[in-house]
Amino acid sequence: MPIKDIDSRILSDIKGKGNFAEDALLSENAARNSGALRYIVENRENEIRPPFFHDTDRIIHSKAYTRYIDKTQVFYLCSNDHLTHRVLHVQLVAKIARTIGRVLRYNEDLIEAIALGHDVGHAPFGHTGERFVSAFLKGKKDGCFCHNAQSFRHLHEIEKTESKEHINLCVQTLDGILCHNGEWLVEEYKNNPGKNKEMLFEEYQRCLVDEGATKNLRPMTMEGCVVRVSDVIAYIGRDIEDAIAVNLIKREDIPADICEVIGNSNKLIVNSLVLDIINNSYGKNSIAFSKDVFNALDKLKGWNYDNIYNNPKKMSEDSKIEVMFNFVLNSISSENLQGNIKVQYEKWKSEQSELYFKSNGPARIAADYLSGMTDDFLMSSYRELVVPKSFGFNFA
């Protein structure tokens, strides 16, 4: 018989010595484990893990987290094993955010859970794929697609446990994931402590129909603010290193006035931004940059868009990728499938509830399923649906 509960004497000792208790060193603005909320109340009497720590376990054991391994960050269709994939990006965000959180005395367990779960909703082919899925939904008059809302959706509505129950993450974790969007850069980040779980769900639903809604989101916790700014810090310099690795840009191309303030390599950029955040946020109730560093970061972000993300060389295959997205999305929504994608789709459907199918139309269901795909699975599915198969020597 497997052991189901920890010995009561050991559990009492663990809690009594503070392993499970509130950390007295936390800032007054930090999220407390005792304040953790879930949409479905759980009995945690025999649980040795604090709630946000437990959320990290639930996230990394999810299928959505496993699929990070083959989701590209910026550079798709490149044969270079040293380029950043989504799985590495979320680890970098977690590490940077925990560094900031530790110094500012915020809850590192909550920070790590938000950071590791924040991008599970990304479609294949990064932000390019996100645009194509959103355009498909808008064309079908079924809202829009934002990866941060889709991350919330995957972890709150779609992902199930082995017993077909929701994984039931804490409200604070889901909030940080929804509000993480690092594309919207501001000089100072403040939380919204008055937000409750009902307001959070309303924000999530708005993001499914209004692409602009994500711009106005404010996390309910300071930990959510830390992850949001760390998302920017994690990708801005790393994307430059990847772009150099594929010969898209040269280091000397980066404007000198930016380099003088925050550096010209990922190492220097991360260090400059993290130290600036600490210098301008320590002992305060917000996360802030200095004026000079923020201006340099904002300028670098714009430079990255012009020279990396929207570089014509990088985008040269995008029209073909769009055709692939639309074909597979339409095939899923009409259930005109065959081969392995049909088998996998039927399996995925069997994991969903009746309420899910009553609440969502064919276009949204197709977007949900495709957004969970890896880049390679999407391409192999497209080939399976489009490329004729040989009948072999004969039909016998």
Total-model pTM: 0.94
Q: Give how many domains the chain has, as a whole number.
A: 2
Mean pLDDT of 152-162: 90
pLDDT, tens digit, 9 for 90 and up, residues 215-269: 889 999 999 999 999 999 999 999 999 999 999 999 999 999 999 999 999 999 9
Separation of alpha carbons 127 and 231, rounded Å: 14
**Range with the poorest average pLDDT among 9-23, 257-271, 344-358:** 9-23
Asked if 206 and 355 sit in the same domain, the reply is: no
* 347: containing domain: 318-386
- Looking at residue 6, its pLDDT comes to 67
Asked if 261 and 353 sit in the same domain, the reply is: no
pLDDT, tens digit, 9 for 90 and up, residues 290-305: 999 999 999 999 999 9
The CATH number assigned to the domain holding 130 equals 1.10.3210.10
Query: Collapsing DSSP states into helix, strand and coil, what is residue 160?
Result: strand
Token digits of residue 338: 């065959």
Asked if 330 and 351 sit in the same domain, the reply is: yes
Burial of residue 54 (CB within 10 Å: 0-12, 13-18, 19+) is: buried
Burial of residue 224 (CB within 10 Å: 0-12, 13-18, 19+) is: buried
In this structure, the number of other CB atoms found within 10 A of the CB of residue 229 comes to 27
Separation of alpha carbons 380 and 365, rounded Å: 20
pLDDT, tens digit, 9 for 90 and up, residues 100-153: 999 999 999 999 999 999 999 999 999 999 999 999 999 999 999 999 999 999
Asked if 152 and 68 sit in the same domain, the reply is: yes
Token digits of residue 225: 């603010």
Asked if 360 and 378 sit in the same domain, the reply is: yes
Separation of alpha carbons 360 and 205, rounded Å: 13
Cβ density class 129-157: b for 16+ within 10 Å, e for less: bbbbbbbbbeebebbbbbbbbbbbbbbbb
The residue to which tokens 């929504």 are assigned: 333
User: What whole-number percentage of the chain has pLDDT above 70?
Assistant: 94
224 inside domain: yes
> Pick from 255, 283, 309: which residue ends a domain?
309
86 inside domain: yes
Q: Where does the pLDDT of residue 197 fall: very low under 50, low under 70, confident under 90, or very high at 90 and above?
A: very high
Asked if 286 and 327 sit in the same domain, the reply is: no
Asked if 287 and 328 sit in the same domain, the reply is: no
The chain-wide mean pLDDT, for the chain, equals 92
Q: Where does the pLDDT of residue 3 fall: very low under 50, low under 70, confident under 90, or very high at 90 and above?
A: low
pLDDT, tens digit, 9 for 90 and up, residues 373-384: 999 999 999 999
Separation of alpha carbons 392 and 160, rounded Å: 40
What size, in residues, is the chain? Answer: 396
Q: Is pLDDT at 1 greater than 50 in this prediction?
A: no
Closest CA to 362 of 330, 328, 339, 322: 330
Asked if 305 and 323 sit in the same domain, the reply is: no
23 inside domain: no
Closest CA to 74 of 246, 225, 226, 214: 246
Residue 164's region, left for phi above 0, alpha for psi from -120 to 50, else beta, is left
